[in-house]
Amino acid sequence: MPNDVLDLDAIKTTLYTAVLSDVLDDFGLPNQAMAPFVRPLDEGKKLVGYARTGLFMNTYSVREGENPYEIEIALIDDLKPNDVAVLGCAGPTQRIAPWGELLTTASMKRGAVGCVTDGLVRDVRHIRSLGFPVFHGGIGPLDSRGRGKMMAYDLPIQCGGVSVKPGDLVFGDVDGVVVVPKEVSVRVVEAAMRKVTSENKTRQELENGLLLADVYAKYGVL
């Protein structure tokens, strides 16, 4: 798979959501940035990894003897190093809170590197103390039991208005979350690295006092 050749450490160190979004525009993929309401719990954290998707639906009760967490538990226990749990809840929502401290702890032990959801998160103080990157659609104390249930995992979903497939590259920082389809991830990352180099040159020229119009004409980067 193309993802095997990606250097996630270099991507995390060098890139940022804005440059990836710009490059995806150039690739004819203008709808890869999640809606602005999807925000980081800790603005100082970056998130880079591969999507493992979960699809939630609203529920309004729990049947006797039912384990409403069964499929969610199966996903968390199957996470691998560099995985990102991406949980689609048709957010923004005031009901479904699929993520909290215990799932964070379990995911970290599996080697996962973050969570993205357009649903709610809780146990925020504990998650922040663990240093685990989580991007969320809101904060609330609600348990998902009787309010929302994961119906399936590792299938294409929508999260924050973006289509996400298992294995897609997920990148999050203070500006938001961008999803890079796995089939173009290598080419997009290479182009983004080149664009960062051009932006660095542009910034230096502007700091040296050159006019923006002249710098743009020279490098074509804004």
pTM of structure = 0.89
What residue ranges do the domains of the chain occupy? Answer: 2-183
pLDDT in tens, 125-141: 999 999 999 999 999 99
Is the dihedral angle over the CA atoms 206, 209, 213, 217 positive or is it negative? negative
Fill in the amino acid letter for 107.
Answer: S
Is the pLDDT assigned to residue 208 strictly greater than 90?
A: no
Phi, psi of 170, rounded to the nearest 5 degrees: -115, 130
The whole-angstrom separation of Cα 176 and Cα 74 is: 28
Pick the CATH number of 2-183 from 3.30.365.10, 3.90.1170.50, 3.50.30.40, 3.40.50.720: 3.50.30.40
Whole-number mean pLDDT of the chain?
93
Task: Provide the pairing of β-strand 83-88 with 39-40.
Answer: unpaired
Cis peptide before 92 (omega within 30 of 0): yes
Residue 61 — pLDDT band, cuts 50, 70, 90? very high
Stretch 73-95: mean pLDDT: 95
Distances (CA, A) of 84 to 4, 27, 168: 15, 24, 10
Q: Helices 17-26 and 185-207 sit at what angle, rounded to 10 degrees?
A: 120
Stretch 192-201: mean pLDDT: 81
